[in-house]
Amino acid sequence: MNTLIETLRYFVLITIELIALFLLISALVEIILMYVPEEKIRRKLSGAGVFGNIIAAGFGALTPFCACSTIPMTVGFLNAGVPFGSTISFLIASPLLNPIILGMLGAMVGIKAMVAYFVIAFLCSVLFGYLLEKIGARKYVKNVRLKPASCCAGSREVVDKRSLPFRGKLKVAFAGAWESLRPILGYLLIGVALGAGIYGYMPQDFVMKIAGPDNPFAIPVAAVLGIPLYIRAETAIPIGLALMGKGMSIGAVISLIIGGAGMAIPEMTLLASIFRKQLVAMIVLVIFLTAVVSGYLFNLLL
């Protein structure tokens, strides 16, 4: 009975925390984007060299897109003449540096872990985008044009919000945050429920043996396991948090999140519609290496 009560208590507290975090972070991003001219960003992305990759990774970090809007935006960048390397940096950074992931990591694991995660994932996005352009991977892009999807908040029709007073912007931002939360609320509750079950009933010794800091293979295995386990970031974070509470190393948790967010099956399926299989394989390898390197660095640094 005590275990059941603790499990239910965990479920309620984590649900409240995550919903509050989601609304606050989403509203903050909405407000920031109202002050960022998209056309100006696109011109900056067209800059040659590493600078374009840095701007693209930063834009990807700022925009909480899901796969069904990230992919059409990627196609839009390519059709608009944005350099291939910058486009790939955006494509990698967008799911990995989702503001929701960063906010939840900061609140649940700590600011130090959030900053370390951001720096490592950001640098990998810039580096791999630059390298893929240098090796000529642009030739594996198919000649396609996709219309923006409408399955998530990132693809909502944009209205003129810049002329609104700040109070109006705030109201629109929180309304947009709620509209973003509604379709994924069920996924969030599933993730918290699974996390609560792990927290209350999974034996700690089992987790320590399979994915503890003493198992050197836990990190690459976690990166691969994150792919089928991943539903959304809002689902993965509470599961990872519960596993870490049971003894899973922070490196394995980070590897699980990166592997799942970056190599999610729906995103890879959409990528296959615009990239040839050679480039899709390269991107999968890039995300896997990012997950593994990040995992080992986290275990060393934290």
pLDDT at 193 over 90: no
Residues 6+ apart with CB under 8 A from 171: none
pLDDT at 267 over 60: yes
Please count the CA atoms within 13 angstroms of the CA of 11 that sit on its side-chain side: 15
What mean pLDDT, rounded, does the chain reach? 77
For the chain, the farthest-separated pair of C-alpha atoms sits apart, in whole angstroms, at 62
Residues 6+ apart with CB under 8 A from 276: 140, 141, 142
**DSSP 8-state symbol, 69:** H
- Give the model confidence (pLDDT) of 18-77 as tens digits: 788 778 877 887 787 777 666 666 666 666 678 888 888 888 887 755 555 677 778 777
* Confidence (pLDDT) at 102: 84
Mean pLDDT, range 4-10, rounded to an integer: 81
Give the Å distances, CA to CA, from 154 to 22, 72, 147: 14, 11, 14
- Give the model confidence (pLDDT) of 237-249 as tens digits: 777 777 777 788 8
- Identify the CA nearest to 153 among candidates 184, 114, 121: 184
pTM of the predicted model, to two decimals?
Answer: 0.73
* Confidence (pLDDT) at 119: 92
- Give the model confidence (pLDDT) of 96-131 as tens digits: 888 877 887 887 778 888 898 899 989 999 999 999
* Confidence (pLDDT) at 130: 92
In terms of average pLDDT, the best of 136-140, 183-187, 258-262, 272-276 is: 136-140
* Confidence (pLDDT) at 266: 65
* Confidence (pLDDT) at 39: 65
Residue 254 to residue 75: CA distance in whole angstroms? 29
**Reduced to 3 states, what is the DSSP secondary structure of residue 7?**
helix
Confidence of residue 156 (pLDDT cuts 50, 70, 90): very low
Please count the CA atoms within 13 angstroms of the CA of 258 that sit on its side-chain side: 35
* Confidence (pLDDT) at 131: 93
Confidence of residue 158 (pLDDT cuts 50, 70, 90): very low
